[in-house]
Amino acid sequence: DAGITQSPRHKVTETGTPVTLRCHQTENHRYMYWYRQDPGHGLRLIHYSYGVKDTDKGEVSDGYSVSRSKTEDFLLTLESATSSQTSVYFCAISEISGDTGELFFGEGSRLTVL
């Protein structure tokens, strides 16, 4: 199993508060991703990183920022949480080896914004 740890696994917060989710990997993979999962939408890409300090937006990036100061850590920040950001957040990693494109996922973080 890929060594991916997400924290916190569960969080309840109030509208307007900042929230940071952390993804930590022990695989030394180059690519890291944040997805959100909502009923009827599958998983949608928020932001991704292709190296230290190299990040880019996904399809649902509004209201989110990310940082990657070390290969092993990828942080997702909600500067001012809103109820529409209540979701399950998944971190994923990938190392394009032989161009397989396979993603390995963390266990998810459930965020509830009241």
Residue 14 or 41: which CB sits closer to other proteins?
Answer: 41
Judged by CB under 8 A, the number of residues near other proteins is 27
22 class by beta-carbon count within 10 Å (0-12 exposed, 13-18 middle, 19+ buried): middle
* Among 5, 11, 13, 58, contact with other proteins (rule: CB under 8 A): 58
Residue type, 88: V
Residue listed under structure tokens 């109820």: 83
Question: x/- site string to other proteins, residues 1 to 30, per CB under 8 A?
Answer: ------------------------------
The region of 14-22, 35-43, 66-74, 75-83 touching other proteins under the rule CB under 8 A is 35-43
90 class by beta-carbon count within 10 Å (0-12 exposed, 13-18 middle, 19+ buried): buried
Q: Is residue 103 close enough to count as binding other proteins by CB under 8 A?
A: yes
